Structure 1
Amino acid sequence: MKTNKLHNINDSGFKTPEDYFNNLEDRVLSNIKLNEAVSDPGFKVPDHYFDSLENKILNQVSEKETTKVIPLFNRKNLLYVSSIAAAVLLLFNLSIFETQSDWDNIDLETVENYIITENLGSEEIASLLLEDGDISEESFSDIEFTDEAVEGYFLENTSVEDLITN
């Protein structure tokens, strides 16, 4: 390490502004004269003010003034609002807006879900869908059953075990 000739340093590194010490005395004297001229700060506190301040604050905080309470929902307003709500409810529940449903507008998926959940048998389904005069021999006389159609039906809808046991 180099010692950088520390014993030969002539400059301290600090500098003062020019004419700093020439004006210093004038500035200190003007500050003293200003403080003597303004002996009264301009604010005055009444005598024994801080002695009674705590008691005054506690008395003002502890005093509770009773105020008149106006409820948000008085009986008159509640009656008006409930009558309007009832009128609107009746308007939407009346049959003015209802449309007549028919068999063409029923969704097929809804009917399937109803049949599955209600566990209806084939007789109940037939009684729901067909009336007494709907089934006749003439309606089945036009249908021809070929051997391929019957064989395909049995292959798709039955198993070998069903055919053997029956």
Structure 2
Amino acid sequence: MKNNNLHNVKSSGFKTPNNYFESFETDLFERLNEKEYLKSSETSGFTVPKDYFESVENTILEKLNDSSKKPVIVLKPRSTFYYVAGIAASFAILFGLVFNNDSISFENIDTALIENYLYQEEYSNDDFASLFKTSDISEIDFIDINVSDETLNQYFENIEPEDLIFD
């Protein structure tokens, strides 16, 4: 690779003539004082025909007063297009409302679909908590109290003391 030795370069590669910066100012003023260089700046290079500004007003007025009227093309107004488009859109909406008999209810919606939606939206527990009023929620709503006596008796009969010891 040739780029490995770039930090070892001693010269920049740019060269100027000897005493260039010492004599630059005097050379510049000498060139500015010469008349040959200033001749090109005396004339702009643009020429105007003779009597152009005296006759331009008359030529413009002649073109404006030209009595030959050209026929104007009459275009159909766009309002008819908008009326037709509006009628077509209203028929499309009416057709969609009349023939769409699918009713959406909570029974038709899959629970997994709702859970996936909520999971993808990344709601936090605080967001859910802000939706409920404290008067609407009680601890009883989250406790399943419907345990029969038979189920409790069966649980107590089958429980072993080793299961009660926590690690």
Provide TM-score, normalisation by structure 2.
0.28
Q: Which has the larger radius of gyration?
A: 1
Say which structure, 1 or 2, has more relative contact order (CA 8 Å, 6+ apart).
2
TM-score, normalised by the number of residues in structure 1? 0.28
